[in-house]
Structure 1
Amino acid sequence: MSTKLQAVLAKIDEINAQDPNSEVVDGQSVAKELIYGRRMTKCLNQYWPQASDLLQIAVRAQHVKRWHIARSEYPLGKAGYYAWRKALGVFHAETAMEVMREHGYSESEAEQTGVMLRKEQLKTNSDTQTLEDVACLVFLSYYFDAFASKHDDEKIIKIVQKTWKKMSQQAKDIALSLTLPEHLGKLVAQALA
C-alpha cells in the first residue's frame, strides 16, 4: 500500500472517528461510521484483493461523515429517502475528493472516485459496481439482522429483492455463501424464490 493511499485512508478514519453515533463492537464503543468504513475495507480485501487505490478509497469513504446530513432534513417517504441518499452520495464524493487532492492524487483520480461514490455508471463501471457489491455484502453481514427486527417480513423480502437487483453475479454468489441466522436465511430464500 502506497504512503499516499495510507494517508487518505487514515484521514477518512480520522473524520469518521468524530461520528457522534456509536456501536458496541467486542465490548467497546466505536464511532459508527469508523467501524462501517473498516468493515467495508475488510470485505473488499477479502473478495476483491486486487482493488485499485481509487476503489479502496471509495469503499472506505462510502459513508464518510454521513451524520452530517440527517435523514430528518428530508421529507418522509420514498422520494425524500432517495433525495437524501443522492445528497449523501454527492457529499461523500466531495469529501473524499478533497482528502485525495490534499494528499497528492490528481483531479482525474479524485473525479474517478467521485463517480463511484455518487453511484454513477452502476452496471457499466466495474469499480462503481464493486463498491455497490461491497455495500450490499456488508449490509447482509453486519446490519441485516438489526434492520430486519424493525420491519415485517413482507418489507424485508422486498428490500432483499431490490438489493439483489443491484448486485453483480459475483456478489450474489458471495451473498449465498454467507452464514445468516436461520430466520434471515428463510427470508432471503423467499425473496429469491
Structure 2
Amino acid sequence: MTRLQTALDAIDTANAKDPKLDDGQPEALLYGQRMTDECNRLFPNASEALQIASRGQHIERWVLKRADYPEGRAGYLKWRRDLGVHHANRVCEIMTEAGYDEEDVTAAGAMLRKEGIKRNDQVQALEDIICFVFVKWYFAPFAAKHSPEKVLDIVVKTARKMSEDARARALAEFDLPEDLAAAFQAPAA
C-alpha cells in the first residue's frame, strides 16, 4: 500500500466514526469522499499533500461542537479557526505516521489552516475544491432553509473565496439564477 493510500485510509477510519449521517453514511466520511472526487476532477495532477488535505478537510469535525462556542459571529469565527487547527493537526499526524516528509506535512497543514489563501496556489486550490463541493452538494439544501438575501450573501462570500479560474468554471458548470451567477462574474476581493 502506498503512503497516500495509507493516509487516505486513516482519514476515512477517523471519519467513519462521525455520529451524524448524511445519505446513510457518516457525514464527514461522505464529505471527504466528495472532496476527493472534486479534487481529482478539478486538479487531476494534484500533489499528494493537496489530495490528503482535501480528504481531511473535515476530519473529526464533530469533536468541536458549534454549541460549545459563544453565539454570534465572533463565536462562529473562533469555532471555525479551532476546527481548522484541529483538522490540520490530525491530518499532519496521519501524514507523519504514513511517512511523509516535513515539507509535505507543513504544506497540508497550511492548506487546512487556510494560510496564504489567494497567495499560495495549493491553499487556493483547496479553497476552490471546498467551494465546488459546497455548490454541488450543499448549496440547494442550504438555500431551501434560508431567505433569498441570506442565500445571495453566502453565494457572494463563496465566490469571493474562489480563484478567477474557479469562478469561471463554476459559471460554466452550474445553472445558477442570474442574481447568483452575477456573484461569480464579479472580480474577487
What are the Cα deviations for residues 123-181 of structure 1, in whole angstroms up to 9, with x where unaligned? Answer: 1110000000000010000000001111100011111111111100111012112334x
Residue of structure 2 in register with 1:139 after alignment: 134
Map 1:1-193; keep pairs closer than 5 Å: 3-24=2-23, 29-180=24-175, 185-189=177-181, 191=183
Distance in structure 2 (CA, Å) of the matches to 1:185 and 1:33: 29
Identical amino acids, percent of aligned pairs: 46
Give TM-score scaled by structure 1 length. 0.91
Secondary structure of 2:25's aligned partner? strand
Shift of 1:80: 0.9
Where structure 2 has 5 or more consecutive residues not aligned to the other structure, the ranges are: none
For the Cα contact (< 8 Å) 2:159–2:183, is it kept in 1?
A: no
Shift of 1:76: 1.2
The code of the aligned residue for 2:19 comes to P
Where structure 1 has 5 or more consecutive residues not aligned to the other structure, the ranges are: none
The code of the aligned residue for 1:107 comes to E
Distance in structure 1 (CA, Å) of the matches to 2:179 and 2:26: 30
What are the Cα deviations for residues 25-79 of structure 1, in whole angstroms up to 9, with x where unaligned? Answer: xxxx111011100101101111110000001010111000100101111111111
Distance in structure 2 (CA, Å) of the matches to 1:8 and 1:80: 32
Distance in structure 2 (CA, Å) of the matches to 1:75 and 1:187: 33
The code of the aligned residue for 1:60 comes to R
Shift of 1:108: 2.8
- Superposed CA RMSD: 1.5
For the Cα contact (< 8 Å) 1:64–1:92, is it kept in 2?
A: yes
Distance in structure 2 (CA, Å) of the matches to 1:90 and 1:142: 24
The alpha-carbon distance between structure 1 residues 125 and 190, as it changes in their structure 2 partners (threshold 3 A), is closer
Distance in structure 2 (CA, Å) of the matches to 1:113 and 1:103: 14
Secondary structure of 1:149's aligned partner? helix
